[in-house]
Amino acid sequence: MELNMIQLKKLIDISLIEDIGTGDITTTSTVPAGSSTKGIIYVKEPGVVAGVAVAEAVFRRLSEEIRFASKVVDGAWLEPGATIAEVEGDARAILSGERLALNFLQRMSGIATRTAALVEKVKLYPVRVVDTRKTTPGLRMLEKYAVRVGGGFNHRYGLYDAVLIKDNHIKVAGGITKAIMAARQNVPHTVKIEVEVETLAGVSEALDARADVIMLDNMDPATMKEAVKLVDGRALVEASGGINEETIIPVAKAGVDLISVGALTHSIKSLDISLDIGEIKAAKTQ
């Protein structure tokens, strides 16, 4: 799992401009220039950490002299009080970057933690828990990365890397078959075509039209099981629609290949993470 560092740098720059603007007037007015400090980033509740390198990149963007010592790696389960990293160097840079670094860490760790919980629930079944495009604008790369850290898998990244024919596409195209045929004629042969269906009749039509993946939208587990039998391995089967911790096991038992959960990224509780700063040391005089 790797982050696109060019994209990350751009995101951090935009976020720092949003937060710091023309300058951190609180820090520059209360903390002497050239002073240094050391801080400890730690968790205050149990969870899976994600985004350690992102936090480091925030601080280093403000000062290349910052020393950031990671104590854990992404994917580690941490108990309250566990140290994620130590950061040392320019006090102004650390204080100005604190909130942004924590925002990224907290949200990404919250996503990884919830993903891990859902993956754990269905570990006995041959099914993948996948995310959706229901991500925070601008943060998709980080949020989808956090899903992978938590043991989940990514669905399509955007509108450009896979075809997903949904109900409105079907209405405009004039039906499931017409929509799939149009997609086949207009996208490269390397691109998979997925179609959303709501009934067993829709499953049959999607199969006849040679869909690669069939998404069962808001079906109950019993109907999903019938759909899986109908497909009989001729396409991948994805379950979608309001699936959560309480409903995911019956869905997995139905025999689907994929379970997509929008809540992995759109309804997340951030993990409680803090940064404690030590003594501020004045700059050494010549």
Q: Catalytic residue at 166?
A: yes
Residues of CATH 3.20.20.70 domain(s) within the chain?
A: 119-266
Q: Is 262 annotated as a binding residue?
A: yes
Is 85 within 8 Å of 69 (Cβ atoms)?
A: yes
Q: Which residues pair with 77 in a beta bridge?
A: 48
217 is catalytic: yes
pLDDT tens across 172-214, in order? 999 999 999 999 999 999 999 999 999 999 999 999 999 999 9
Number of other CB atoms surrounding residue 148 within 10 Å: 18
User: Residue 167 corresponds to which tokens in the numbers above?
Assistant: 């109900």
Fill in the DSSP letter of residue 44. S
pLDDT one-digit tens code per residue, 62-84: 999 999 999 999 999 999 999 99
Catalytic residue among 217, 226, 253, 272: 217
89 is in an annotated binding site: no
Q: What is the pLDDT of residues 94-117, one digit of tens each?
A: 999 999 999 999 999 999 999 999
> Strand 77-78 to strand 128-130: parallel, antiparallel, or no bridges (unpaired)?
unpaired
- Check 71, 99, 192, 253 and give the catalytic one: 99
Instruction: Please give the Cα distance from 17 to 133 (Å, whole number).
Output: 26
Catalytic residue among 9, 44, 166, 269: 166
Q: Where does 119-266 sit in CATH, by number?
A: 3.20.20.70
The pair of structure tokens assigned to 216 is 């069962």
DSSP 11: H
The catalytically annotated residue of 71, 86, 121, 134 is 134
What CATH number does the domain located at 5-118+269-277 have? 3.90.1170.20
Q: What Rg, from alpha-carbon coordinates, does the chain have?
A: 23
Question: Does the active-site annotation cover 253?
Answer: no
pLDDT (tens digit, 9 = 90+) per residue, 128-148? 999 999 999 999 999 999 999
- In the prediction, which pLDDT does 285 show? 61
